[in-house]
Amino acid sequence: MSIATSEQRPAAAATRSWAFDQAVPRRGYCWWYLDALSDDGKHGITIIAFIGTVFSPWYALARLGEGGTGGDPHDHCCMNVVLYGAPSRWAMTDRRRHALRRDADSLAIGPSGLEWDGTTLTVRIEEMTAPIPSRLRGVVRLHPTALSTRRMTLDSHGRHEWQPIAPRSRVEVELESPALRWSGAAYFDTNAGAAPLEQDFRQWDWCRAMLPDATAILYNARRRDGSRVSLALKATDDGALTDFTPPPEVELPRTLWRLQRPTRAEGPARVVRTLTDAPFYSRSEIHTRLLGQDAPAVHESLSLDRFRSPLMYAMLPFRVPRPLR
């Protein structure tokens, strides 16, 4: 087990800790992740802004160039937007470096972008869905209860970091296309790395459970060197992130692609609905028990062994298009 230490700082310092203009090294990546479920349970959204689109077949192929040292992350960036429920949508266009514009408080990738004004993160979405083209347009506003600056190292070599920026947040979704409005509980974090994920990891699973007075976050990874990391954090409304003992391992039913869905829980856990079911990745809404309470949760499982298969590179362009220029 590996658990990093941290300190809590005022909101202004927390803003600087995840600035959108931070350096992204060659073959590396940085992403900002937002997910939310509607209060009525009917809808959900996930937004991931990538510099170095880690799940892009185009970026994976670029890293194979120059004797295995190729891969400019700034030439592979995207805004991945997924809607769950009815209607459902998927957009993930891998864009070239001229589409990227950023400073400390804003990030634009093509026609979409994120902007932080000190209290609210505003996401403006202007994307085309795939594989069936349709317009995805609107605004999402994230209102954090508090911010945290705690960063954790996930691998043995110090190449991959994770920071849960605002685990307890509210979100307002206002879409024009498709026409959709809702609000609900949300979560916001960031990951950054100096090497491809598949180089240092075989598998990981992540979970965030929404409790009335806290958010419980689990992060478990099997590293390529055979070691493991298991993190269990309690996020409260004052911005504090405190460790708790990781609960026992629990195996959720496999997906239709037979992907394993491991997690940890203090009792039985079950899948409420599968949100994303891909050959190497799943995102699910589950019901679990953490910190002595039953709670709904968002769960994801990722197999990097499957992702590094050449077969995946052949399948992914249908879901991850790339403009010719």
Q: Does some domain include residue 3?
A: no
Instruction: Say if residue 156 is in the same domain as residue 215.
Output: no
Q: Which of 54-58, 138-142, 259-263 has the lowest mean pLDDT?
A: 54-58
Q: Does some domain include residue 324?
A: no
Instruction: Say if residue 41 is in the same domain as residue 173.
Output: yes
Instruction: Say if residue 305 is in the same domain as residue 261.
Output: yes
Instruction: Say if residue 181 is in the same domain as residue 51.
Output: yes
Per DSSP, the three-state class of 72 is coil
Q: What is the arithmetic mean of pLDDT over 126-142?
A: 96
Q: What is the arithmetic mean of pLDDT over 14-31?
A: 86
The pLDDT of residue 1 = 33
The whole-chain average pLDDT of the chain stands at 92
The pLDDT of residue 43 = 97
Instruction: Say if residue 21 is in the same domain as residue 34.
Output: yes
Instruction: Say if residue 221 is in the same domain as residue 190.
Output: no
Q: How confident is the model at residue 65 (pLDDT cuts 50, 70, 90)?
A: confident
Q: What is the arithmetic mean of pLDDT over 13-29?
A: 82
The pLDDT of residue 66 = 74
- Is the predicted pLDDT of residue 316 greater than 80, yes or no? no
Task: Single out the residue in 195, 218, 233 at which a domain terminates.
Answer: 195
- Is the predicted pLDDT of residue 98 greater than 90, yes or no? yes
The pLDDT of residue 208 = 98
Owning domain of residue 58: 12-195
Q: Does some domain include residue 1?
A: no
Instruction: Say if residue 242 is in the same domain as residue 179.
Output: no
Q: What is the arithmetic mean of pLDDT over 300-315?
A: 86
Q: How many structural domains are present in the chain?
A: 2
The pLDDT of residue 312 = 75
Q: Does some domain include residue 212?
A: yes
> pLDDT tens for residues 176-229?
999 999 999 999 999 999 999 999 999 999 999 999 999 999 999 999 999 999
pTM: 0.93
Instruction: Say if residue 281 is in the same domain as residue 255.
Output: yes
Q: Which of 15-19, 59-63, 122-126 has the lowest mean pLDDT?
A: 15-19
The pLDDT of residue 266 = 98
Task: Single out the residue in 147, 179, 195 at which a domain terminates.
Answer: 195
- Is the predicted pLDDT of residue 151 greater than 60, yes or no? yes
The pLDDT of residue 54 = 95
